[in-house]
Structure 1
């Protein structure tokens, strides 16, 4: 996996690179947000590790740029010294896939990277999602030539459900996978997004797919 690291602390960057190399990942380090933005316009990585506190453009501003310039499909994990609940919630709300506070532990970082990667790769392993075609760069789904716009979290939720076709998935698992169990959110958030997704993607059975509620257990997407 190709991973870009935004980190202005040289020792921290070298340590992260060492850990990633041990797991056969390839990484590049960028000390400023501007350097990373310039690189992203040339080549995209498989995942981004972002620090928040940086000279000039902050890591959060870099993420805002990424989300508004056609790079929404790149998974983002924050690795920051900011450990307040407000900071974590802000980053996750704006689109981060996970948030770790320094000093990060090697095993935890590798586990979070694996979890985020699985989340993004699930749909690509599914051989048949017809009549749906997922458009990662725009958070849209093409259904029989109808382009359906989704919010970022709706899109991630849809990809997760299609990647776990036929399986019962609990609300807690969905909170962990899509929202990283943000402390400001509850299972009601999952229910609301499920309801919107069912309506937008016509997951009532008429499209050949049905998103059903399993009492006290969660949700299951079924191909009819």
Structure 2
């Protein structure tokens, strides 16, 4: 499952609260989502935590978001590790600074052997940028003479993506009532079931998670074929 966690700001605005309060409430929703994933046997959960476009937001909001991510990494990491969660980072975490990036990589290394749930955080992530980077990497191999152009197929291309070691999502969920992917996992979501919920992310609950799974179970996965 992959989730576009949308609506923190509007949740706060409706309550007359500063935006940072919405992000804090969104952090609590992340913990509920992780618990629900574990309880329901979901093996991979990808969360769109910070998009490459989010850098256009105000400096104060970016500072608040970064501070909250650091807080959860430092104070909730032990709980994740004890739950058997493996942490993976995709995107460009180095844009948050060397110190924070080092903390993230240390957390990845420490949880690398955990198998109960792989939690993939997309930080400063953009799907188009990831696809372009994959194309550049393959082009460099062709230039070096280690790869023939005719050997580049979908599988070889996918192997150069940051998500090469995790399966494509079966479900992509977006909260807040919006119905778009917003540059999230564009290649990987080719055959994902898209589910849009009319609930702001801070209000996302275990019941909403269960509803998503029920929607998924009711759909027929044909991958372009006809029903038997």
- TM-score class, shorter-chain normalisation, is under 0.3
- Normalising by the residue count of structure 1, what TM-score does the alignment of the two structures yield? 0.28
Greater strand share, structure number: 1
Greater helix share, structure number: 2
- Normalising by the residue count of structure 2, what TM-score does the alignment of the two structures yield? 0.27
